[in-house]
Amino acid sequence: MKNSKETRTCIACRKKEYKYNLIRIVNSKENGITVDFKQNLEGRGAYICKKEECFDRMLKSKALVRALKTNIEQEKYKEIRGVVFDR
């Protein structure tokens, strides 16, 4: 990787990748837990690969709960999956 400031680690598979090749999920005070496609929202964020396998691994290991330091309901996971993969 060229610039470490532009690389992030997927919370599911732990692979390092350029941040623009990953999906950012953010916990902000204004919007709660949302997908940040432009990667500019304020709040605690976590990155995940654009693969459904990584999303499923994230669910199973509860990696997003640990990364965002908050409890997440199953409905929110369904909403995030719909926004990311069903669009």
- How far is residue 52's CA from residue 3's CA, in Å, rounded to a whole number? 27
Q: Are 20 and 3 in contact (CB under 8 A)?
A: no
- The gap from C-alpha 75 to its chain's centroid, in whole angstroms, comes to 16
pLDDT at 5: 79
- How far is residue 18's CA from residue 31's CA, in Å, rounded to a whole number? 25
Task: Quickly state the pLDDT bin for 2 (edges 50, 70, 90).
Answer: low
Question: Which residues constitute the domain of residue 13?
Answer: 4-85
Counting the structural domains of the chain, the total is: 1
Q: pLDDT digit string (tens) for 43-52?
A: 999 999 999 9
Question: Which amino acid does the sequence have at 66?
Answer: R
Residue 13: give its domain's CATH number. 3.30.1230.10
Q: pLDDT digit string (tens) for 18-73?
A: 999 999 999 999 989 999 999 999 999 999 999 999 999 999 999 999 999 999 99
Residue carrying structure tokens 């950012």: 24
Residue 48 sits at the vertex; the CA angle it makes with 66 and 33, to the nearest 5 degrees, is 60
